[in-house]
Amino acid sequence: MVRARTPAHDLTAIAEAVMRAAGLQEAFDTLMSEIARVLGSRACIVQRVDRGWMLVGQARGGMRVSISDLQHALDHVPLDALSAAIDLKAIGEGVWTSMALDRPGETPVVLLIAGDWTIVDRLLNPFAVLLSFALAAVRERAARVSAEGLVVEGYTMARRLSRLGPVEAVCQRIVEHAGRSVGAGRVALALYRPEEDRLAIEATHGYPASVVKDVRIEQGAWVIGHVYSSGRPLLVRDIRDIHGFPAERRHYRTFSFASIPLRAGRLMLGVLSATDKFDGSAFDRRDIAALRTFGAAAALGLIAARSDSEALRLSYAATVDSLTGLFNRRYLDARLHQEVERAKRAASSIAVLMADIDDFKRINDSYGHLTGDAVLRAAGGILRSAVRVFDVSARYGGDEFAILMPSSDHASAAACAERIRQRIAEYDARENDDLPRVSGMTMSIGVAVNGPGETPADLIRRADLYLYQAKAEGKNRVRVGAG
- Beta-sheet pairing, 400-406 with 392-397: antiparallel
The answer to whether 297 touches 288, Cβ cutoff 8 Å, is no
How many helices (H) does the chain have, and how many strands (E)?
12, 16
Q: Where in the chain is the domain with CATH 3.30.70.270?
A: 329-480
Q: Which residue has the higher pLDDT, 221 or 323?
A: 323
Alpha-carbon distance of 287 to 269, in angstroms, equals 21
Alpha-carbon distance of 261 to 227, in angstroms, equals 6
- Beta-sheet pairing, 43-49 with 109-114: antiparallel
Residues shown for the chain: 483
Beta strands in 313-458 (DSSP E): 350-357, 392-397, 400-406, 443-449
Query: 3-state SS of 314-344?
Result: HHHHCCECCCCCCECHHHHHHHHHHHHHHHH
Alpha-carbon distance of 351 to 405, in angstroms, equals 5
Mean pLDDT, rounded, of the chain? 81
Q: Which residue has the higher pLDDT, 150 or 377?
A: 377
Q: Does domain 8-140 have CATH number 3.30.450.40?
A: yes
The answer to whether 421 touches 463, Cβ cutoff 8 Å, is no
pLDDT given for residue 3 in this prediction: 45
> Whose CA is closest to 59, among 77, 38, 89, 87?
38
* CB neighbourhood size of 342 (10 A): 13
Averaged over 170-175, what is the pLDDT? 84
Query: Residue 406: which pLDDT band, with cuts at 50, 70 and 90?
Result: very high
Q: Where in the chain is the domain with CATH 3.30.450.40?
A: 8-140, 165-315
Question: DSSP secondary-structure letter at 391?
Answer: S
CATH superfamily of 329-480: Reverse transcriptase/Diguanylate cyclase domain (3.30.70.270)
- % pLDDT > 70, the chain: 83
Alpha-carbon distance of 403 to 412, in angstroms, equals 13
- Beta-sheet pairing, 43-49 with 52-59: antiparallel
Task: State the amino acid at position 257 in one-letter form.
Answer: F
Cα separations in angstroms, 54 against 21, 168, 202? 21, 37, 34
> Taking each helix axis from N to C terminus, what angle separates 369-386 and 360-367, rounded to the nearest 10 degrees?
140
Tens of pLDDT, residues 128-172: 888 888 888 887 777 666 655 655 555 566 556 555 557 788 888
> Whose CA is closest to 459, among 383, 344, 350?
350
pLDDT given for residue 411 in this prediction: 93
Alpha-carbon distance of 240 to 423, in angstroms, equals 68
* Residue 399 annotated to the active site: yes
Is the pTM above the cut of 0.75?
no
Query: Residue 266: which pLDDT band, with cuts at 50, 70 and 90?
Result: confident
Selecting from 3.40.50.1100, 3.30.450.40, 3.20.20.80, 3.40.50.1370, what CATH number does the domain 165-315 have? 3.30.450.40
Q: In which region does residue 6 sit, left (phi positive, over 0), alpha (psi from -120 to 50) or beta (all else)?
A: beta
Task: State the amino acid at position 185 in one-letter form.
Answer: G
Cα separations in angstroms, 244 against 143, 248, 393? 34, 12, 61
Report residue 388 CA to chain centroid gap. Answer: 35
> Whose CA is closest to 43, among 15, 72, 63?
63
φ/ψ of 414, rounded to 5, equals -65, -40
- What sections of 47-166 are H helices per DSSP? 67-74, 121-164
Tens of pLDDT, residues 450-461: 988 889 999 999
pLDDT given for residue 267 in this prediction: 80
Query: Residue 483: which pLDDT band, with cuts at 50, 70 and 90?
Result: low
Q: In which region does residue 476 sit, left (phi positive, over 0), alpha (psi from -120 to 50) or beta (all else)?
A: left
Residue 264 burial by CB count (10 A; 0-12/13-18/19+): exposed, middle or buried? middle
Query: Residue 382: which pLDDT band, with cuts at 50, 70 and 90?
Result: very high
Catalytic residue selected from 50, 276, 321, 399: 399
Alpha-carbon distance of 74 to 79, in angstroms, equals 10
- % pLDDT > 90, the chain: 23
Task: State the amino acid at position 349 in one-letter form.
Answer: S
Query: Residue 2: which pLDDT band, with cuts at 50, 70 and 90?
Result: very low
> Terminal CA-to-CA distance of the chain, rounded, Å?
111
